[in-house]
Structure 1
Amino acid sequence: MLEARNLSVNYGMIRAVREISFTLAKGELVSLLGANGAGKSTTLKCIAGALKAGGGSIMLDCRDITSASPEQVVRAGLATVPETRDVFPDLTVSENLMLGAYIHRRDRAGNRENLQRVHHLFPRLAEREAQAAGTLSGGEQQMLVIARALMSRPAVLLLDEPSLGLAPAIVDRIFEMIETLKRTGLTILLVEQNVNQALAVADRAYVMRLGRIVASGTADEIRATTDLTKHYLGG
């Protein structure tokens, strides 16, 4: 469903991601692990079209999206939830969600049906549909940006640090939602520093360090064979 082949990404003269390769099969949840500065979020931004590749290729369902714009990437079936949790604060929850459906704006019946599914997954958003998004709690805003991404009807969802800055109880709730999304058959690439949470929901994982993939395997294999302390703390 999603494949990176020898992907490199540069920030000016600095190579932040160095010839990495990975795959996601349809319906898989794959975690991309690593410390700050490992290149995880840069990789997601490149896949989403926000950063240009400095080499290699990105394939989405056998289609080359390496040079695609962010809008073209969304239209191809890939949606991203950035770590910044950006909502449109002065717009209501409902208006934020409908902005996520912009590429399907002419399919009103389909959008209504999809909105019902999103409300079923996130009942708290249904309760607050008329509320300004800027007045939501941090956890509710995280729910909103995930739900807004789902309104584009993606085949692949990229999640960038969904637990960032949230209280432990809210983090547990967010990961319960991620597991629910996984059970729907959605293909998910999860970037996350919370190793235990990420491996608990993942089918497979890749570990990045200094722009390279240094380990890969099933969640159980990563736990058993990879010195995560070394890769996170540089020991």
Structure 2
Amino acid sequence: MLEVADLEVRYGAIQAVRGISLTAKRGELIALLGANGAGKSTTIMCIAGALKPAAGSIRIAGEDVTSAGPEAMIRKGLATVTETRDVFPDLTVAENLMLGSYIRRHDRAGVTEDRERMLTLFPRLAERSSQPAGTLSGGEQQMLVIARAMMSRPKVLLLDEPSLGLAPAIVDQIFEMIGVLKRSGLTIVLVEQNIAKALEVADRAYVMRLGRIAASGTAGEISAATDFNAVYLGG
């Protein structure tokens, strides 16, 4: 479903991503792990179309989308949830969800069906559907941006640090929802510093260090074989 080959990303003279390749099959969840500065978020933003690669290619369902911008990527079936949790604070929860379905605005019945499905999946959002999104807690805003991304009916969902700054109980809820989305057949790429949680839900994982893939394998293989002290602390 997603193929990234020999991807390179530069910020001026600085090469942030150095020829990485990764794949995600239909219905598979892959985790992208590594310390801050490893190149994980840069990789995600490049796949999402927000950054242009210096080299390499990106394919969704076999189609080359390397040069596509963010809006085109959404139309190609890719949705992104960034670590910044950008809600529209003055709009209600329901209005935020509807904005996520903009590319499907002529499919009113389908949009209504999906909105109800998201409110069922995230009952706390249903309780606050008429509330301004800016008044939600951090965990509720994370639920909202994931649900809003799902309103475009993506084939591939990119999640960048969904547990960042959240209380452990809320993190458990977020990962429970991620598991539900995975079981629905959605392909997910997860960037996450909570290694244990990421490997619980992942089928496979890639470990990045200094812009390169340092290790890859099944979640079990990565958990057993990777020295995460070395990855995160340079030991």
Q: Same fold (TM over 0.5)?
A: yes
Which structure 1 segments of 5+ residues have no match? none
Name the SS for the 1:206 alignment partner: strand
User: Within 2, Cα distance between the matches of 1:58 and 1:229?
Assistant: 31
Percent identity reads 72
Query: Is 1:98 matched with 2:98?
Result: yes
How far apart are residue 171 of structure 1 and its match? 0.7
Q: How far apart are the structure 1 equivalents of 2:214 and 2:193?
A: 16
Give the distance between the partners of 2:126 and 2:154, measured in 1 at CA.
21
After superposition, residues 71-220 of structure 1 pair within 5 angstroms as: 71-220=71-220
Cα-to-partner distance string for 1:80-106 (whole Å, 9 max, x where unaligned): 000000100000000100000000011
Q: CA RMSD in A?
A: 0.6
C-alpha separation in 2, matches of 1:115 and 1:168: 27
**Distance of 2:168 and 2:12 partners within structure 1:** 37
Partner of 1:9: 9
SS at match of 2:205: strand
Superposed CA offset, 1:155-190 (max 9, x none) = 110000000010111111111111111111110000
| Runs of 4+ with >6 A deviation | none
Q: Pairwise mapping of residues 8-87 of structure 1 onto structure 2 (< 5 A)?
A: 8-87=8-87
C-alpha distance in 2 between matches for 1:47 and 1:90: 29
TM-superposed CA distance for 1:223, in Å, is 1.1
Matched residues in 2 for 1:198 and 1:11: separation?
28
Question: Partner of 1:193: helix, strand, or coil?
Answer: coil
**CA offsets 1:60-96 (integer angstroms, 9 cap, x no match):** 0001111001000000000000000010000000010
What is the rounded CA distance, in whole Å, between the counterparts of 1:65 and 1:19 in structure 2?
A: 17
Q: Displacement, 1:126?
A: 1.2
> 1:13: Cα distance to partner?
1.1
- 1:224 Cα deviation from its structure 2 partner: 1.2
How many residues are paired up?
A: 235
| Alignment of structure 1 residues 217-232 onto 2, 5 Å | 217-232=217-232
CA distance in 2, matches of 1:3, 1:117: 29
Which whole-Å CA distance do the structure 2 matches of 1:67 and 1:122 have between them? Answer: 34
In 2, Cα distance between equivalents of 1:221 and 1:182: 20
For residues 12 and 158 of structure 1, the distance between their equivalents in structure 2, rounded to whole angstroms, comes to 25
1:56 Cα offset (Å) = 0.3
Distance in 1 separating the partners of 2:187 and 2:223: 22
